[in-house]
Amino acid sequence: MLKIKSPNYIFGAFFCSLKNAILKKQSSFTTYISKFTILVSYFFLKKRYFSNVEIYQIDPSMKKKGYILYIVINYSEEENSFSNVFLLYTRKRSKSISVTRLQSLTRIERVIYVLSTSKGILNTSESIIKNVGGIILLEVL
């Protein structure tokens, strides 16, 4: 299962994207709706696990460095399992990993994979804190 690890961050990111959409026109309407859906699900429906989740990297300065734009997790209702984790990078690169493979990794390795850049810069949890902010958005349980 996929569990949202840091709802406060998503809550802040939601308002940040809304502000950027209104003032700077830097955030798309899709991004706004995507975060709003997660917020409503988390706080009002008390839903802690999600299918087909998209999380948007909100910092515009990171776009030039090739950081992840979207994380999409596909969930199969029939098989009751995640089929893959799809990462879309800003440099038009994409990467996919099977959930079986992801679950075989250690927790730190999972975090490194999900929060890695297209250059594969991050190697330790310390580098995640320095380069991304150290916020684990999600974890495959």
pLDDT number for residue 98:
57
DSSP string for 63-108: GGGT-EEEEEEEEETTTTEEEEEEEEETTS-EEEEEHHHHHHS-HH
Q: Is the pLDDT of residue 80 over 50?
A: no
CA nearest to 75, candidates 100, 50, 39: 50
Q: Is the pLDDT of residue 49 over 50?
A: no
pLDDT number for residue 99:
53
Model confidence band, residue 64 (pLDDT cutoffs 50, 70, 90) = very low
pTM, two decimal places = 0.26
Residues 19-47 pLDDT 10s: 555 555 544 545 455 555 555 555 555 44
Which stretch of 71-85, 99-113, 127-141 has the lowest confidence by average pLDDT?
A: 127-141
